[in-house]
Amino acid sequence: MVLPAYSSLRELQEAVVGCDRCPRLRQYCAGVAEERKPAYRNQKYWGRPVPGHGDPDARLLVVGLAPGAHGANRTGRLFTGDESSQWLATALFLHRFANQPNSDHAGDGLRLRNAYISNAVRCAPPENKPQAAEVAACRPYLEAEIELLTRLQVVLTLGRLAFETTAGVLGGAGLVFRHGAVYLLPGRPTLVASYHPSQQNTRTGLLTPSMWMEIFALVRRELDPGQTSAVRLAPGTDSGIMET
């Protein structure tokens, strides 16, 4: 599917918010926004497609899977308002890509520096499982974003679907997803693969805080060779207590 060219990230963001190409996802997001989780019953959900956000001069692009039904689909900002958001915000802050270690709601003051956040799919899917046709329908937005982020040097993908979609966009179709893998693509940003910081991964120990911090240290080294990370885990713990 070919989308019209966008002259700016703002124009692209507006197009995403008004998108209705995937009826199943639009219906699901609106339904979740109507029903709401008991804990958020007094809140108004966003319930629409969620565009990327961050620094237009970003050298790092982080690509996740899709908005969380009660995270970004509620707050209207990607990686905002759920446990995955907290993992990402903490890492971005500790590695100097963000001004604060939390991402709670759209008006919380979070500002990204040199980083932009996006997703392979911009509407929350049932059970976090978009269909192939939905991934394909949403991919042109990622293509447009990568073209508009003219200073990009590294794309960090979270989870297999984000990796495979982004690899396809960058001309690396068929590359193998492996946590910690780094792919140098001629004339394109470096592609880095990580497990997604979903509860399913973090609560089972598939992705630990130290593994997560190592990914961001790796990204920082790719961007600024010679600079070492100032982040370390508190002695004797791998349970999320991190200090600089």
Nearer to ligand SF4, 19 or 32 (CB): 19
Choose the stretch contacting ligand SF4; rule: CB under 6 A; options: 13-21, 68-76, 107-115, 173-181.
Answer: 13-21
**Contact residue for ligand SF4 among 91, 121, 149, 161 (CB under 6 A):** 121
Task: Tell me which H or E stretch contains 24.
Answer: helix 23-35
Distance CA 106, CA 23 (A): 26
Please report whether residue 137 would count as binding ligand SF4 according to CB under 6 A: yes
Beta bridge partners of 64: 119
- In terms of DSSP bridges, do strands 53-54 and 232-233 run parallel, antiparallel, or are they unpaired? unpaired
CB atoms within 10 A of CB 232: 13
Q: Is 124 left (phi over 0), alpha (psi -120 to 50) or beta?
A: beta
Please report whether residue 25 would count as binding ligand SF4 according to CB under 6 A: yes
Please report whether residue 122 would count as binding ligand SF4 according to CB under 6 A: yes
**Contact residue for ligand SF4 among 26, 113, 160, 188 (CB under 6 A):** 26
Please report whether residue 134 would count as binding ligand SF4 according to CB under 6 A: yes
CB atoms within 10 A of CB 97: 26
Residues that bind ligand SF4 (CB under 6 A): 16, 19-22, 25-26, 49, 121-123, 134, 137-138
